[in-house]
Structures are given as C-alpha cells and as structure tokens.
Amino acid sequence: MNSLISSANGSMPLHWLFPTPVMQVDLTPDDGIAAAMHQQLEVFDRDVFGDPQFSNRNNLTGDLLGIAGLDQLHRMEAFVWLNHQIAEQVSLYLIDLLGPDHGLEVHIQKAWPVVCSPDGGTIESHTHRNAQLSAVFYVCTEEDPGSGELEFQAPDTYFSHVMAIPFREATVSGGVFAPKQHRLLLFPSDLRHRVLPYEGGVPRYSVSYDLAVTTAPGQGREMLTPHPMDWVPLGGFSST
Ligand SMILES: [Fe+2]
C-alpha cells in the first residue's frame, strides 16, 4: 500500500501503519497426493453432512463439531505432504519477517476440514485466538467461482469505534483472496476473517491449520512463548 494517499489536492500526509503479512502461494501436489486429500474431504463431507443433526448447515468445520479426531488431520498420511509444504512456506514467511536467525520453532496445534456447500456456503467472521499463525489450503473449489472468497478484515478496535469514518472499509480494500484449488494462504491468527457466500458446481473443500510459534527448547526469551518441552503440567507435581 502506498504510504502517501493521492487526492485531488495532491498527496495527503497519511501514513498507513501496521501492514499485515498474508502469504499466498499456489502449490502443485502430484495427482495421487491431491486425490488422497480430496478423498478425505469427501469422506468428511459425506459422513458428517449426511448426519441429520448437521445436514441443514451450509458449512461444516471439523474443529467446531466436537467430533474426536476431526481437528487432527495432520496426523493422517494423506496430509503429510501438505504438512511439509506448510513447514517450508512458514519458514520463508518467518525469515522474510524476522531474518534467518529468528530462532523460532513452529508447531501444528490442529488441522481440520472445512466444507462450504455449493449453494451459498459461508463461514462467519472470526479469529483463531488459540494460535499465532493460521493456514488455509484449498483442496477443491470451483474454477474461478467468483464467490467464496476469504475476506480479511481490519481490526475495528483502533479508532473506527470512536470516529465516524469508514476506516474499516478503507483498510479492507485488497483484503479479499479468491479461492483456488491447491492455493495456500498463511496469515496471523488474530486477523479477523470470513468466507463470503460460495456458489459452484462442487463443494468448496479446504483444510485449516493452526500453528503455535515458540522458542527452541531451553531458549526462552522475554515476551516469547517457550517451547512446550520447557512447560511442566501444573497438576503433575505431587503434594508430598
Ligand atoms: Fe478461520
């Protein structure tokens, strides 16, 4: 985004702060890997959408339904390739932001399937407060659907709530990413986002990952989350 905004009067001295790093990259799984991931999403779609308690929804998200294992896709053989791809892209992302000596480690907290039905499926605005980085990979979507975009929204707590200006509308410009088969998006987890209504000939299948960023074991630093190996369960101490 330009740091100075052009206007009819020339350049206005507006400096836009707080850029948001969102990574978008198109991956190229081979046919077998792509088919294995697609098959897992189809199973989820069929088995869970087919359940009467969920059949009237226009979306399904594995982590919300509270069914055991549906937020652990990364442990399945079909998603090992994607785990590696995300590791590679997260490394590039962190190096770009922090330099090669950032000393951080990244962990998969959970990964879950998301289905948007082809007749207007949406995901309402939300953040992933449990994580630091989140990823979305599109397993299957209509080609050029012109719908079902992921829209990132500017934080509305800076000043738009005390000033009657369309700050949010201004900053959301450029924050809409079209779904595309085998496209990966990586973004800060506290960035609010939603899926706009999807229309297509096929369901929109994606997989979401939540990642935790920590120091290396034994390398804790102020204001950074230590590596989980440095943690001790509080309930693990005996009383004697
Ligand atoms: Fe999300």
Summarize pLDDT for 51-62 with one digit per residue, the tens.
777 777 788 887
Is residue 38 over pLDDT 90? Answer: yes
Taking only Cα atoms into account, the Rg of the chain, rounded to an integer number of angstroms, comes to 20
Residue 205 is predicted with a pLDDT of: 96
Going by pLDDT thresholds of 50, 70 and 90, the confidence category of residue 19 is confident
Summarize pLDDT for 189-238 with one digit per residue, the tens.
999 899 999 999 999 999 999 999 999 999 999 999 999 999 999 987 77
List the single range of 54-68, 95-109, 123-137, 209-223 with lowest mean pLDDT: 54-68
Residue 211 is predicted with a pLDDT of: 98
* Alpha carbons 27 and 182: distance in angstroms, whole number: 5
Q: Could you give all domains of the chain from N- to C-terminal order, each with its CATH number?
A: 19-216 (2.60.120.620)
Rounded to the nearest angstrom, the distance between the alpha carbon of 193 and the centre of ligand 1 is: 6
Phi-psi region of 8 (alpha: psi -120 to 50; beta: other; left: phi over 0): alpha
DSSP helix/strand/coil, 90: helix
Is residue 155 over pLDDT 80? Answer: no
Rounded to the nearest angstrom, the distance between the alpha carbon of 64 and the centre of ligand 1 is: 11
* Alpha carbons 81 and 29: distance in angstroms, whole number: 8
**Quick one: which of 201, 42, 207 has its CA closest to 119?**
201
DSSP helix/strand/coil, 54: coil
* Alpha carbons 227 and 47: distance in angstroms, whole number: 37
Q: Which amino acid is at 205?
A: Y
E strand or H helix at 125: strand 119-126
Rounded to the nearest angstrom, the distance between the alpha carbon of 124 and the centre of ligand 1 is: 9
- 11 and 5 in contact (C-beta within 8 Å)? yes
